[in-house]
Amino acid sequence: MFWKFDLNNTSHIDQLLDREGVTLRELMEEEDVLQECKAQNRKLLLFLSKDHCMQELVTLITEEPPADLEEKTRFKFPNIACELLTSDVALINDKLGGDESLLEKLYHFLEQEPPLNPLLASFFSKTIGNLIARKTDQVISFLRKKHNFISLVLNHIDASAMMDLLLRLISCVEPALLRMEVLNWLNEERLIQRLTELMHTGRDEERQSNASQTLCDIIRLSRDQANQLSEVTEPDPLLAVLESQENVAELLKNMFEGERTEASVVNGTQVLLTLLESRRSGLEGLMDLYSQGCERSYTVNSSILRAIEPHIKDFQQLLLNPPTRSAILTTVGVLEQPLGSARLHVARLVASLLQTCDLSICQEICRLNTMDLLLDLFFKYTWNNFLHLQVELCVASILNHSAHADLQNPGLQNHEERPLFQHCRLVQRILGAWEENDKIQAEGGRRRGNMGHLTRIANTVVQNLEKGLAHSQISDLIKELPEDCRGRWESFVGETLRETNRRNTVDLVRKAFSDYQIQQMTANFVDQFGFNDEEFSEHDENINAAFDRIAEINFNIDANAAAFEACCKERIQQFDDCEEEEDIWDEKEINYATQIKARSRYSTWMILAGSGSATGACEGSPGQKAPLVGSDSSSSGGSDSEEDPGENKTEGSPKTPANQTTAPMR
C-alpha cells in the first residue's frame, strides 16, 4: 500500500549532522554517505569540506591503517575516503586542489620508501588523477615546483598505480596548449630516457614490465592525440624521443647487454612492436595484408628501422638459443622444450618488420635465413597457434612485398620469394606435412593443430601463383622444382586443397545457416507472442505502458478450454461468507499433468525445428558426430580440436573413441 510509505523522510545523515559533536567516522559508517555526497547534499558537503575533515580524509588514503584491525575491514574507511575525495563534487575539488597543505600531505605519500601499499597507491593515484582533470592549473603548478616528482614516481614504478598517474598527466590535461607545456616539462625531466633505462636486463622484472607497458601506452596515446588534435602543429616531444634512433638503440642495448632474460626480451620487444604498429593485429590485420599489399601500409619512422636492423642477428640468435625454460605439461603431453614467450615475441617482431616493406630489413632477414628457422618452429610446435599465425603473416608479407618491390625496381633480381621457395623449401614442406598428417589421421591419430594455418599458407601461394603481382616469378620457381615434387604439388592443388576449401566453405555456410535459423526462431518468437524488450523497460511518461499490450494478445482459449477451466477451478477459491475466514491465496496442491503434456509437445516441436536434441547431438541420429566447422581455416587452437561439443562428457572422464558413437542421454 503506497500510503504506508513516508516519501518525505529526512535523511539519517541529515539527522546525524544536526547532532552536536558528530564525527567523520560516524558519517562514513552510513551506507548512503557516498550517494548523498554525489547528490550534492549541501549540509554534508559543508561538513566534509571543513579543514579537519579534509585532513582526515587525506590521512586515510595515505597512511597505513593499524595492522591489528580485521583484514576485511582494515581498508574500509580508506576506500570510502577515496570515493568521497574523487566524487567529482566541485566543493571538495576546490578545497583539495586549492589548499596547498592538503596537496603537500598527498605528495608526502610518494616520499616513502618502496614498496608502497598497492591499495593506498591506487587511492593516491585516483585522487591525484581526478585533480589533474578537474583542477589542472593548480595541481600542475604544484607538481612542477617539485623537482623530484618524476624521480619519486619512477622509484615506485613497480606499483601499477604509478603508471596510471603518468598516463593521466599525458592524456587528461586540457586545453591543448597547457597539455603541450606538460609534455615539454616531462621531456625536460627525461621521462622517456629514464623509463628506457628501467628496461635493462639487470632490473627487477616488475619494474621492467611496468616501464614497458608505460612506454607502449605513451606511444599509443601520443599517436591518437596527434591524429585528433589537428590544431596543434607542434610535434609531441615524448613521441619524438620514443621514435628517435638513439632511444631505440638504447632500448636494444639494454635488452641484449648482459644476461638475456626472457623478461627483458619480451618487455623490450613489446615496445618495439608498438613502435612498429601500423594496422590491426591478428586475423583482421592478415586480411588487410591480403587485400591491400604493401602499397597502403603505414609508413614507419625510418629511424626505428635503422636502429633495429643491426640487431636482427641478435633476435635470430634468440630463435636458436632461447632463454632456458623448464618442461611443462600441456593438454597434448609433456613439452620438454617449450617455445617460450621470447621466441614467440621474436616471431611477432619479424612479422611486423616484414610488413613495413623496408627493402634493407627484408634483405637482412633473407640473408640470415630467419624464415627457415621460423618454418622449422612452425612444424615443430604443431599446437602453438600463436606462432602459426605469425609465420603465416610472414609468408604473406614476403609474397606481397616481393611483387611490390619488383614493380618499384624492375631491375631488382634479389626477390624474397626465391629463398622462401628454394632454401626454405616451402612447397616441399607443405606437401610433406600434409601427407604426414593424412597418414596420422588414417591410423586413428589426431589432426595436427597447425593444419588450418597450413591450409591458408597453401592458398596464399596458389593465389599469388594464379593472379598475384609476382605470379610470373612464383610460376618460374614452381617450374624449377623437381619433376616428382611439381607433380605432387599440382595434384595437391587440383584435388586435396580444392576439396579442403570446398569442405570448409560448406561447413561455414552450414554454420551460418544454423545461426540464421536460431536467430529467426528467436525473432519469430517475439513477433508471434507479442512482447519485446522495450515493453519491459521503464516508461517515465506512462506507468501503464508495459501493460497496454496485454489486451492485444490472442489467447486461443477455445483450443484449451477444458484444461483452462480445470486449472481455474483448482487454483481460485470462491468467496463464501458462511465458511471460516481463511486466506484465499494459500498454496493448494495443483495437478500439473496438462502442463507436462504441453511441455512435452513444445519440446518435440523445438527438436523438429532444428534447435537441438535432448541427447546433445547436433543433427541426425543420436550419437552422430557434429561436423568440424571450418576446421581447416580457423586461426585458433580450438578449431583444431577433434572433440564433439555434443558429446556427453564430464570433467576428467576419458574421451569417447572416434570409432564409437555416444549413447544418448536419458
Average pLDDT for 205-212:
94
Q: What number of other Cβ atoms are within 10 A of residue 398's Cβ?
A: 26
**Cell digits for 427?**
612447397
Cα 123 from chain centre = 25
Assign 139 a pLDDT band (cuts: 50, 70, 90): very high
Contact present, 118 and 109 (Cβ < 8 Å):
no
Provide mean pLDDT across the span 113-117: 93
Query: Would you state the torsion angle of the CA atoms of residues 447, 451, 452, 457, taken in this order, to the nearest 10 degrees?
Result: -170
- CA 665, distance to chain mean position in Å, is 37
Residue 333: its H or E element:
strand 333-335
- CA neighbours within 13 Å on the CB side: how many for 551? 4
More confident: 46 or 552: 46
**Contacts of 103 by beta carbon, 8 Å cutoff, 6+ apart:** 96, 97, 139, 142
Peptide bond into 115 cis (omega under 30): yes
> Cβ atoms within 10 A of the Cβ of 227, count?
8
pLDDT tens per residue, range 91-109: 999 999 999 999 999 999 9
**Do residues 387 and 394 make contact, with C-beta atoms less than 8 angstroms apart?**
no
Q: Is the pLDDT of residue 462 over 80?
A: yes
Residue 413 pLDDT > 50? no
Which residues are CB-contacts of 7 (< 8 A; sequence separation ≥ 6)? none
d(CA 158, CA 148): 18
Question: Do the Cβ atoms of 299 and 279 come closer than 8 Å?
Answer: no
Closest CA to 634 of 326, 297, 286: 286
> Do the beta carbons of residue 348 and residue 390 sit within 8 Å?
yes
Q: In the predicted model, is pLDDT for residue 32 greater than 50? A: yes
All three cell numbers of 94, joined, read 576546490
Residue 339 has pLDDT above 50, yes or no: yes
DSSP one-letter string for 53-77:
HHHHHHHHHHSPPPTTS-HHHHTHH
Q: What is the pLDDT of residue 586?
A: 54
Q: Which pLDDT score is estimated for 297? A: 43
**Range from 86-90, 118-122, 335-339, 554-558 carrying the lowest mean pLDDT:** 554-558
Per-residue model confidence (pLDDT) at position 509: 82
Tens of pLDDT, residues 582-625: 555 555 555 544 444 444 444 443 333 333 333 333 333 333 43
Average of per-residue pLDDT across 533-553:
44
Name the residue with higher pLDDT: 47 or 5: 47
Residue 405, pLDDT > 90, answer: no
Q: What is the helix (H) or strand (E) element at residue 466, kind and residue range?
A: helix 451-466
Q: Predicted confidence band at 373 (pLDDT cuts at 50, 70, 90)?
A: very high
- Give the confidence band of 465 by pLDDT, cuts at 50, 70, 90: confident
pLDDT score recorded for residue 522: 63
State what percent of residues in the chain have pLDDT above 70. 70
pLDDT band at residue 198, thresholds of 50, 70 and 90?
A: very high
Distance, CA of 331 to CA of 585 (rounded, Å)? 57
Strands 328-330 and 333-335: antiparallel
Cβ within 8 Å of residue 382, ≥6 positions away: 448, 449, 450
Q: 309-313, 397-401, 441-445: lowest mean pLDDT where?
A: 397-401
Closest CA to 140 of 149, 148, 132: 132
What pLDDT does 194 receive? 96
Q: Which pLDDT tens digit goes with each residue over 436-461?
A: 999 999 999 999 999 999 999 999 99
Q: What is the pLDDT of residue 308?
A: 97
Point out which residues pair with 550 in neighbouring strands.
none
Distance CA 386, CA 342 (A): 13
pLDDT range class, residue 641, cuts 50, 70, 90:
very low
Tell me the one-letter amino acid at 491: S
Q: What is the average pLDDT across 270-294?
A: 65
CA 470 – CA 400 distance, rounded (Å): 8
Asked if the model's pLDDT at residue 636 lies above 60, the reply is: no
Q: What residue type is 332 in one-letter code?
A: V
Query: Who has greater pLDDT, 301 or 654?
Result: 301
Q: For the residues 154-180, what does the mean pLDDT come to? A: 92
Position 631 scores a pLDDT of 35
pLDDT of residue 347: 97
* SS3 assignment for 592-625: CHHHHHHHHHHHHHHHHCCCCCCCCCCCCCCCCC
Q: How far is CA 59 from the centre of its chain?
A: 37
Q: What are phi and psi of 213, to 5 degrees?
A: -65, -35
What whole-number distance in Å separates Cα of residue 122 and Cα of residue 105?
A: 16
Say if residue 549's pLDDT is above 60.
no
Q: What pLDDT score does 507 carry?
A: 80
Report the pLDDT averaged over residues 38-42. Answer: 91
pLDDT at 530: 52
Residue 426, pLDDT above cutoff 70: yes
Q: What integer pLDDT is reported at residue 470 of this predicted model?
A: 73
Q: Which residue has the cell 644476461?
A: 259
Residue 77, pLDDT above cutoff 50: yes
Mean pLDDT (whole number) for 469-483: 84
The pLDDT of residue 523 is 58
Whole-number pLDDT of residue 461: 92
- CB-based burial label for 381 (10 Å; 0-12, 13-18, 19+): buried
Radius of gyration of the chain (CA): 34
**229 against 394, higher pLDDT:** 394
Q: Which region among 80-84, 145-149, 191-195, 226-230 has the lowest average model confidence (pLDDT)? A: 226-230
